[in-house]
Amino acid sequence: MEVLDPSVSRDDQPLCINDHLEKVTVPDKPSDTKSCLKARYTLGFLGFLGFALVYAMRVNLSVAIISMVNQTAEIHHDDDTTDVCNNTKSSNGIFIPKAGKFDWDEKTQGLILGAFFLGYVVTNVPGGRMAEKFGGKLIYGLGVFFTAVLTVISPFAAYAGLVPFLIVRVAEGVTEGVTFPAMHSMLAHWIPPLERNKFAAVVYAGINFGTVISLPVSGWLCSFELWDGWPLAFYLFGSLGIVWYAFWLIFVFDTPAQHPKIDPLERAYIEATVEKKDEDYDLDVPWLSVFTSLPMWAITITQCGQSWAFYTLLTELPTYMEKILHFNMQQYAFLSALPYLTSWLVGLGISSFADALLVRQLLSPLASFKLWNTVGSLGPSLSFLGAIWAGCDSTAVMIMLAGLGSLQGAVYAGNQMNHIALAPRYAGTLYGLSNTAANTCGFLAPYIIGKLVQGHETLARWHTVFWLAAGINMTTNCFYLIFASATEQPWSKGS
């Protein structure tokens, strides 16, 4: 690789792509390749599928556990029936799950569903750091692959006993915990700044897509008689994850410089706009500077608020739909996925629009971060308030949650790319830190909500839950508006 002389203008300097490739001149305004099959598009597509699969493997248990447990549906009425919606569904409309193999009470089921997070929060920061040192391809790929293997063996572990099943669930959290920071590290090396919003929306939208697919498909598979039905939900998504890993190994590389078949123009375009990994790239993380950085705290705190709202929706919406709105199982299995579908579609549109505004210099990077982060926080918050206003009107409630709530997709153009702007060489580690904090907050949300509504399934209690989620989300966004930054920090450059 030739070393460019900084004293000579870029127009006069050739950039040697490889010893056996032609030399490509990088102009002041580098142009991208005209090819439709761009290497970074392949990364984006396979990254999207990877996140879709890990989320499908993550949430399928929430549906499968209904068929796993030996129980029948029963309706619980709180002693205070003066503040509930009228139950107009007939007994014929209630889904009675077939008797499962496992005698797990509600406390045990909660332990099983929460075991994943015990492992997940442990590996976010190490995963980001390992990706910076050893490459995001290896860490992200193995994270998805081992999660897939553990998913396939989950039914065998469940039949072996509660403890083996809990161990497998914790291990799945450990392996999946490295995926998000590892992908963030890869985006820092592969994606030009003016394309990052769009790429983040595409790649991380796999979260919503995987949830939308997993919930109804898992429910459908659980209805089969083959092998009791529910193991099929684990075998299907786990097997797809293993197949995905083969494509990831073949078509994805850590950096453009390591890609043997990348178009020379695309490589030159990317390397002219992103920070290259050099011999100083693996310097130790300046932990003290990171932990005392207000812009980093701004990202972390707003992610905690958004995570609280997200997990309120993810874990508590089915309960609210059943206990308060009185949807039956078939109805809320589909409707629970609707907010994730709308959020996925809206997120793609907003992120492309955000990139277009940056390209035309109609917004500065900092203004863009703050604007779209506010939209991503305000939308779900208003959707909760709209659900309060709608009361027992189940149609209006779903319109609010799936309509206004869809604006949550704007976070990809908000704080999600802010880590790379602050410190490109430590992007994986920074994302690991903020994601660990966010998921800890998200894990606390169902616990506190359970304390609020336990034994008191009334509209007033649930309205308190919605007010709390909206208030936390918007308060943390205000902190972001005050302290966020889009400037690379001095400690990122080793100074």
Q: Domains in the chain and their CATH numbers?
A: 38-73+103-282 (1.20.1250.20), 284-495 (1.20.1250.20)
Question: Has residue 366 got a pLDDT over 90?
Answer: yes
Residue 220: pLDDT band with limits 50, 70, 90: confident
pLDDT digits (tens, 9 = 90+) for 403-451: 888 888 888 888 888 988 898 888 888 888 898 888 887 677 777 777 7
Q: Which amino acid is it at 277?
A: K
Q: What pLDDT, on the 0 to 100 scale, is given for residue 249?
A: 94
pLDDT of amino acid 12? 40
Query: Cβ–Cβ contacts within 10 Å for residue 22, how many?
Result: 9
What pLDDT is stored for residue 315 in this prediction? Answer: 66
Torsion of CA 303, 306, 312, 318, to 10 degrees: -110
Q: Who has greater pLDDT, 19 or 44? A: 44
pLDDT digits (tens, 9 = 90+) for 105-122: 766 776 787 788 888 888
Taking a C-beta distance cutoff of 8 angstroms, is the pair 248, 144 a contact? yes
- Coil, helix or strand for 275? coil
pLDDT tier, 85 (very low <50, low <70, confident <90, very high otherwise): confident
Burial class (CB in 10 A: 0-12, 13-18, 19+), 471: middle
Question: Which burial class, exposed, middle or buried, applies to 475 when counting CB atoms under 10 A from its CB (0-12, 13-18, 19+)?
Answer: middle
Residue range 318-325: mean pLDDT, rounded = 69
Please state the rounded mean pLDDT for residues 75-102. 52
CA 379 to chain centre: 18
Q: Find, among 61, 336, 97, the residue nearest to 223 by Cα.
A: 97
Read off the pLDDT of each residue in 215-244 and give the average, rounded to a whole number: 85
Model confidence band, residue 296 (pLDDT cutoffs 50, 70, 90)? very high
The answer to whether residue 225 scores a pLDDT higher than 70 is yes
Report the pLDDT value the prediction gives residue 215, as an integer from 0 to 100: 76
